[in-house]
């Protein structure tokens, strides 16, 4: 799903769950989150706004997956990275 349109994203941070973020296109999209999700993440506070262009690269999300989720389901959830994504194989920590 490739599109040339710029999307204006709003990112909300969960104050209940560390490193969990909800990406939406507008504030009203939060009202359409599944109830179980809202209960598990609320309260959400706005963390940032940015323009998502087709050429934009994001640190922890595939921009095309984000665009697809925003169009198809109306939101995208970014969960914290697994410990292995942060440190690699922990058996190798401290070894040079």
Q: Would you give the distance in Å from CA 19 to the centre of its chain?
A: 9
Which stretch of DSSP H or E encloses residue 71? helix 63-72
Query: Could you give the CA distance from residue 69 to residue 95 in angstroms, rounded to a whole number?
Result: 40
Query: Exposure pattern of 22-50 as b/e (b: 16+ CB <10 Å)?
Result: bbbeeeebbeebeeeeeeebeebeeeeee
Is pTM beyond 0.75? Reply is yes
Nearest by Cα to 30 from 42, 18, 19: 42
CATH of domain 7-92: 3.10.510.20
Comparing 3-7, 50-54, 78-82, 89-93, which segment has the lowest mean pLDDT? 89-93
- How do residues 40-86 score in pLDDT, each as one tens digit? 898 999 999 999 998 889 988 899 999 999 999 999 999 987 755 55
* Residue extents of the structural domains in the chain: 7-92
């Amino acid at each position: 799903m490739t599109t040339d349109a710029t999307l204006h994203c709003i990112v909300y941070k969960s104050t209940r769950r560390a490193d969990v973020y909800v990406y939406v296109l507008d504030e009203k999209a939060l009202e359409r989150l599944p109830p179980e999700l809202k209960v598990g993440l609320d309260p959400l506070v706005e963390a940032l706004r940015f323009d998502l262009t087709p050429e934009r690269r994001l640190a922890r999300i595939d921009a095309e997956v984000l665009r697809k989720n925003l169009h198809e389901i109306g939101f995208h959830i970014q969960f914290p990275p697994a410990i292995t994504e942060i440190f690699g194989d922990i058996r190798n920590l401290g070894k040079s």
